[in-house]
Amino acid sequence: MCGIIGYIGYRDVVPVLIQGLEQLEYRGYDSAGIACLDSRKGNLFLAKEKGKLAALKEKIGDFNIDSHIGVGHTRWATHGEPSRENAHPHTDFSGQIALVHNGIVENYATLKKTLQKKKVRFTSQTDTEVGVQVIGRFYKKKTSLFQAVKQAIPQLRGFFAFVLFSKDDPETIIAYKRSNPLVIGLGQGENFVASDVTALLSYTRRVIYLEDEDIAVLTRNKVTVYSLKRHSWVSRPVTTVNWNVAQAQKQGFPHFMLKEMYEQPEVLRNILSKRIDRQGEVYFDTITKAFRKRLKKIERVFMISCGTAYHAGLVGGTAIQQYARVPYQAQVSSEFRYTNPMVGPEDLVVLVTQSGETADTLAALREAKSKGALVLAIVNVVGSTIAREADSVIYTHAGPEIGVASTKAYVAQLATLLLLAFYMGRLRRKLSRDAHRTLIREFKKIPDQAAKILKEHKRFESCAKKHYTRRNFLFLGRGYNFPTALEGALKLKEISYAHAHGYAAGEMKHGPIALIDHEQPVICIAPDSLTYEKMISNIQEICARDGIVIAIGTEGRKDLEKMADDFFCIPKTSEVFSPILTVIPLQFFSYQMAVLNGRDVDQPRNLAKSVTVE
């Protein structure tokens, strides 16, 4: 997945595609490609390269192409490593159809086996190629490209968007949307389609946003839309976009961080849809039988990571200990390798990293493997070094995260690690089927509950306005939300530059209580939990010393609300899921503190998105 552009009209298509892809570069990508119909030769021209657009432009520069229809794509790998072969566009077995794709075809492995039995050859590791081959099978039957797409879509499970054309029909582009965004750009004697309105603004501001299960048919002079939901042709409203390119890249949000915070419910939905099978069991397609066999027998778990990922690892380790009954210990990557760690073949080392390139975590991986430990990576970037070198990998599929301060990648790590805990609990027969079903039912409510919290943004802003001039903050939590306290403090430090420290609330009397007076804000994370009453006792001690209490708790907790100067509630949920919800108000609070202090939210000073040096 990442960026899609398609064009049909009177212009030379190659510059249009390249410019569109350049406008989508901000989303992040590992490879790029275009396909167009050379009208002089009647051939399908295909150019793909790993790496940046400069490499693709250099390759295309050697060709003299006369074309007015084509598609382009920047890829962020989800199936298959970053490579020229796996880059989009992909073609069908006959070489007639060129297709670009965002999203996931969940049943691609089953479809691929079926097609291979019918002697269809594959040249990539991608689910995208499976999609175009399925469409190609229907197109082979002399039906129109529209009809071929219409007939193929019911065979494809998952959430995705396709844009494609055929060299046999040089006057038509087909676009299909299911959960992944597609927008049509309307011109005079030309039309466009893209995954993001940013790619269109140099040419038009009149757009149509496709809805789920829409198939759009684009010609030079017309756009028609067929709804698979309604089984009929439909009319979609035309919108005039007033954003500039910079605003459009952020989809109207002032910062990438804020945009990515609002993407969290959808990230959670995608993870749950990919990782839970039809029987309600957790499923990881990357875990082999051999890995699973060793996983059954492990005696200890080591959670190794850095920064925000370390906090996710603390939550994940606690859940593994609770549901799989395996003891765990967590350590930051930069310390692990220098302690001569006592790990061996009976141990599982779980490495959590967004980029998959973090230098200290990579060094920890190599240290663990040298001692024979079983190594599992929890990674966002497909094909990254850590993903390749680990014994197995589970991808979080959060999509590109542009803001340096992690938000959606963190909740994706939390969700993935919780699913891993349940998976291990079932594998080791420590978690009953009924208990597992109850957990999964509750987990499926979390995306909507996260969306509900996001609607409270004005209250978070109001709280930040009271405190943005303060320079010191304490964060307290217990159990599953001690890591949330650490994460909340880190977020505030990262982007507002205020000093903040996270503590286990039980440690308050061992030092931090000396700081508490009428000037000291204390953020107390106190959802319903095993230790709720103890957390209330901590808060009473803060109130007795005139400390400023900003509390996050479960809705309906009037006792907590009365004690707090500011109270943010989360929907009722089990303690194990609460870190996904309690972190959202902390992200918002940190964001507003940074904005009010005039900080560079997306690129805070001295920080990098991926730390590739030790």
Show which residues are catalytic.
2, 609
Asked if 86 contacts 1 with a C-beta cutoff of 8 angstroms, the reply is no
Write down the H helix ranges in 140-282. 145-152, 245-249, 256-262, 264-275
Q: Which residues pair with 378 in a beta bridge?
A: 352, 394
Q: Which residue has the tokens 């009953």?
A: 432
Count of all residues that appear for the chain in the document:
614
- In sequence order, what DSSP letters do the residues of 10-21 get, joined into one string? SS-HHHHHHHHH
Which whole-number Å values give the CA distances from 493 to 296, 475, 496, in the listed order?
40, 12, 6
Which whole-number Å values give the CA distances from 574 to 1, 359, 446, 579, 580, in the listed order?
33, 35, 10, 10, 11
∠ CA 558-559-560, nearest 5°, is 90
Q: Which of 547, 546, 556 is nearest to 524 (CA)?
A: 547
How far is the C-alpha of 525 from the C-alpha of 534, rounded, in Å? 12
∠ CA 322-324-328, nearest 5°, is 70
Which whole-number Å values give the CA distances from 220 to 10, 70, 167, 278, 350, in the listed order?
8, 12, 16, 43, 52
Q: Which residue has the tokens 């073949």?
A: 345
* Strand pairing category for 69-75 and 158-166: unpaired
Which whole-number Å values give the CA distances from 303 to 40, 90, 194, 319, 422, in the listed order?
59, 39, 40, 12, 16
Q: How far is CA 341 from the centre of its chain?
A: 32
Greatest alpha-carbon span in the chain: 83
How far is the C-alpha of 24 from the C-alpha of 215, rounded, in Å? 23
How far is the C-alpha of 492 from the C-alpha of 589, rounded, in Å? 8
Write down the H helix ranges in 324-475. 333-336, 359-370, 385-389, 408-427, 433-443, 446-454, 457-467
Helix or strand holding residue 534 (H, E): helix 532-544
How far is the C-alpha of 421 from the C-alpha of 381, rounded, in Å? 22
How far is the C-alpha of 594 from the C-alpha of 604, rounded, in Å? 9
Q: Which of 453, 583, 582, 445 is nearest to 527 (CA)?
A: 582
How far is the C-alpha of 377 from the C-alpha of 379, rounded, in Å? 6
Asked if 126 contacts 80 with a C-beta cutoff of 8 angstroms, the reply is yes
